[in-house]
Structure 1
Amino acid sequence: MWIFVERERRRPRAFWRLLVQFSVFFLLSAFGVLLVGTPAVLLGGTSTAAADAFFYMSTSIVSLLTLFASLALAARFLDRRRFRDYGFNLDRGWFLDLGFGALLGAALMAGIFLVQLAFGWITVTGTFDSGFEGVPFAIGILPPLVIFLCVGVWEESFSRGYQLKNIAEGLNYPALGPKGAVIAAWIITSAVFGLLHLGNPNASLLSSFNIALAGILLGVGYVLTGELAIPIGIHITWNFFQGNVFGFPVSGLTGIGGSFVTVEQGGPDLWTGGEFGPEAGLLDPIAVALGSLAIFLWVRLRQGRAGILAAVAEPPKAPEPSVRRAESRPDS
């Protein structure tokens, strides 16, 4: 039974926790997408901008709700920990880090936009485009805002909050130690993050490699603080500013709602990312390096130190022996 269960903590081992949580999340989200997908198809017939936006917005909300439901179940029945231990200790510092992450994600994407503009690789073709015929910009910008808010929260909660933490706990053996386990889990989850985007439109090996690097960037804040505030903030604004402020494709996806600026892409695909968007170009690794440095300096400024947090790989405390004896004693 030691292959399946941590006897001291009375919970499944890391591999089985990951498998069960993913299975529950997949089943719940598939059912939810089926429920909201049918109205989306009926709304737009085959495919219209409104139907696509409604579908993406609805499925993003479903993914967020079902992910949180699966995490709540996992916390109670698999991990034996509090939900907030996934990175949701929502104090003042958490929201301060969230704001920093949001500003950083926006700044990094603004830098990519300005570099391409300076080199003449993009041409601004319009402003305040609602994305829907006859719809005001203020309405057209709402669906992508909702989509990327939900995506930023649920993807970080899943990839960093649950997967990275549980993989780190599973790898926390003397040969690696807790910090080595956190680094290994950080690399593994980032690689998986990149592979999950390989099926996106116009994806390539370079785009998946770059998104894996983006996973490294998103993981920096988590492995330094044990909280999801910085990763969530970066993820939300990185996507929103990329697609709906500066008009780039987001991981190969285009035309989801309004955009503050619309552009015509030119220049070398190797640098710009072409039809996949900036995440497939060589500007992406530069942004990742600068962003990672900024996070390190921010955490050092806020906490007085910055280093891999060994606590990420430390499992919850085992029940007290007296509690276990009391639970095993038959009722009188």
Structure 2
Amino acid sequence: MSPRRLVWNDTERRPTAPLRLLTMPIVVVLVVLALAFGVVGPLGTVLSGRPVASVVTNVVSAGATGIAGLVVARYIDRRTLSDLGFGIDRDWMLDLGFGLALGAVLMGGIFLVGLATGWFTVDSVGFGGARLSGVASLLALFVVVGISEELLVRGVVLTDISEGLRWKFDVRVASTVALVVSAAVFGVIHLSNPNSSLASTLSITLAGVMLGLGYVLSGDLAIPIGLHITWNFFQGGVFGFSVSGLSFGTSVVATTERGPDVITGGAFGPEAGLLGVGAILVGTAAIAWYVRARYGNLRFDPGVTVPELRWKRE
């Protein structure tokens, strides 16, 4: 094999999958730093002292990974938006609605089980202006986080791996390996969060399998994006739990965790406990049921392993 073939795919007119994956973190860091110094910093100065300052800077910071994902996809992967899982149409919106509903139901289930067993207690419920403003800010943040992380981890990482393996393996094997590896990346990304542990990393990895399954079975990011948004929002903005170790201090319901950490997840939030693991397993089964009921079969979508490239449309 010539050295050129190790770094360049002549058929697809773009770098090989391993090189694209190695380049991605560099691009992400550069884009995040550029936005931090070029946008977030100046915005923080201009909006200093205003209530909206933290909201705007947090949203822009969270969106940096999504922007980095788009840069990688357009200029390195050379993919279309639809190949990233954004083939938005009526079916896409229906799948998004299912994902949104599922995230809310799963987190609501965690809350109700914890409440019934005494593992959680409700300190207060409020709908005042200041509290609702904070909750609305969290909703905006989690919408951006859900889209950005799914675009980067599932739309770019998972897809690059599955495309890179498709020449040696069939769709099922390529998609399975990509699903597991991208889920592990998702878990490692959250390892630096406050209060993280081995248990939380393994649980987040399992959540990555659940989110990725919605993508590889449907071929679109609608289900994982919807699920990601409402899972985080209901966790932190509605029920007042920590979200992957981060505590935001504002929610519709102020909740105190009183049960054993192995069950409730402790300071990291429900994701690190058995309640979270149980919800993830239920969510995984629900996604499989939905895809089978809606599309008539349960299989890995072959479109995830076959690139739709921009240059073919130009």
Q: TM-score, normalised by structure 1?
A: 0.86
Q: Could you tell me how far apart the structure 1 residues matched to 2:236 and 2:310 are?
A: 46
Partner of 1:10: 13
Q: Could you tell me how far apart the structure 2 residues matched to 1:246 and 1:265 are?
A: 11
For structure 2, the 5+ residue unaligned runs are none
Matched, 1:180 2:169: no
> How high is the sequence identity, in percent, across the aligned residues?
44
User: Would the aligned equivalents of 1:60 and 1:150 in 2 still touch at CA under 8 Å?
Assistant: yes
Shift of 1:129: 6.4
Moved over 4 A (4+): 41-45, 66-69, 317-320
- Shift of the 38–73 alpha-carbon distance from structure 1 to 2, 3 Å rule, reads closer
Output aligned runs, 1:214-225, within 5 Å. 214-225=207-218
User: Would the aligned equivalents of 2:211 and 2:224 in 1 still touch at CA under 8 Å?
Assistant: yes
Shift of 1:90: 0.5
Partner of 1:93: 91
- Shift of the 37–280 alpha-carbon distance from structure 1 to 2, 3 Å rule, reads farther
Q: Does 81-90 or 210-219 show the bigger shift?
A: 81-90
> Aligned partner of 2:119: which letter?
W
Per-residue CA deviation, residues 156-205 of structure 1 (Å, 9 max, x unaligned), is: 0000011100011112243x322201110100010111111111111110
Q: Does 140-149 or 232-241 show the bigger shift?
A: 140-149
- Shift of the 41–202 alpha-carbon distance from structure 1 to 2, 3 Å rule, reads farther
Partner of 2:220: 227
Partner of 1:36: 40
The structure richer in helix per residue is 2
Matched, 1:19 2:18: no
Output aligned runs, 1:45-84, within 5 Å. 54-55=53-54, 57-64=56-63, 66-84=64-82
Q: TM-score, normalised by structure 2?
A: 0.90
> Aligned partner of 1:36: which letter?
V
Q: Could you tell me how far apart the structure 1 residues matched to 2:147 and 2:47 are?
A: 27
User: Would the aligned equivalents of 1:218 and 1:231 in 2 still touch at CA under 8 Å?
Assistant: yes
User: Would the aligned equivalents of 1:33 and 1:59 in 2 still touch at CA under 8 Å?
Assistant: no
Shift of 1:268: 0.7
Higher Cα Rg: structure 1 or 2?
A: 1
> Paired residues, what number?
309
Output aligned runs, 1:1-332, within 5 Å. 1-34=4-37, 35-37=39-41, 39-40=43-44, 54-55=53-54, 57-64=56-63, 66-128=64-126, 136-174=130-168, 176-256=169-249, 258-316=250-308
Give SS of 2:154's match.
helix
Give SS of 2:161's match.
helix
Q: Could you tell me how far apart the structure 2 residues matched to 1:68 and 1:286 are?
A: 29
